[in-house]
């Protein structure tokens, strides 16, 4: 898994991600992220990499309830 910066325009990406969630209810927001995860996962494709990303996402929760 690549933890080094790889996103070409980090601020631009983050803004676009926020914009996509604008005016959505919490529920609709969560639905959107679920679709986004699937689309991104298909870009990666590699099973080992996907499993590493899932584990890393799960490990990095910042004090919210698991």
Partner 1 sequence: MPNTAETWKFAPAYELPAWPFVEPPELVTGRTRRHPVVIAGGGLAGLTLACELAQRGIRAVLLDEDDTVGVRGASSRGICYAQKSLEIFERLGIYERIRAKGITWSVGRTFSGADEVYAFDLKDESLSEQPPFINLQQFYLEWFLVERILELDAELIRWKSRVVAIDNESDHVKVEVETPAGRYALEAEWFIDATGANSRIRNAMGLEVNASHGTDRWCITDVKFKQPFAVERWTWIDAPFNEHRAVWQHLMADEVWRLDYQMNEGADPEAISRPEVAGARLREQLGPDVEFEFVWIGPYQYRDHLLERFRVGRTLFIGDSAHVVSPFGARGGNNGIQDAANLGWKLALVLNGEAGEVLLDSYHAERHAAAEENLKVTSRTTRFLAPRSAAEYRMRRAVVALARTHEFARKLANTGRMAQANAYPSSHCAPSGARSLQNVAFEGTSVMRELAEGTRLLGLWFGAGAAELASVEDLEKRWPVRFRSVEADGALAHHLHAEAGTLVLVRPDAYIAAVVDRATPGFVEALLRSALGRAAVGPAV
Task: List residues near partner 1 by CB under 8 A.
Answer: 30-31, 34-35, 37-39, 42
Distance of closest approach, residue 34 Cβ to partner 1, in angstroms: 4
Q: How far is the CB of 36 from partner 1 (least distance, A)?
A: 9
CB of 7 to partner 1, least distance (A): 22
Name the nearest CA neighbour of 32 among 19, 21, 45, 18. 21
Backbone dihedral angles phi then psi of residue 62, each to the nearest 5 degrees: -95, 70
Whole-number Å distance between alpha carbons of 61 and 32:
20
Nearer to partner 1, 37 or 53 (CB): 37
């Amino acid at each position: 898994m690549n933890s080094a910066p790889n996103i070409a325009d980090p601020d631009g990406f983050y803004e676009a991600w926020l914009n996509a969630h604008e005016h959505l209810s919490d529920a609709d927001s969560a639905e959107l992220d679920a679709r986004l995860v699937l689309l991104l996962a298909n870009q990666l494709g590699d099973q080992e990499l996907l499993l590493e990303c899932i584990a890393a996402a799960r490990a990095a929760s910042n004090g919210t309830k698991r």
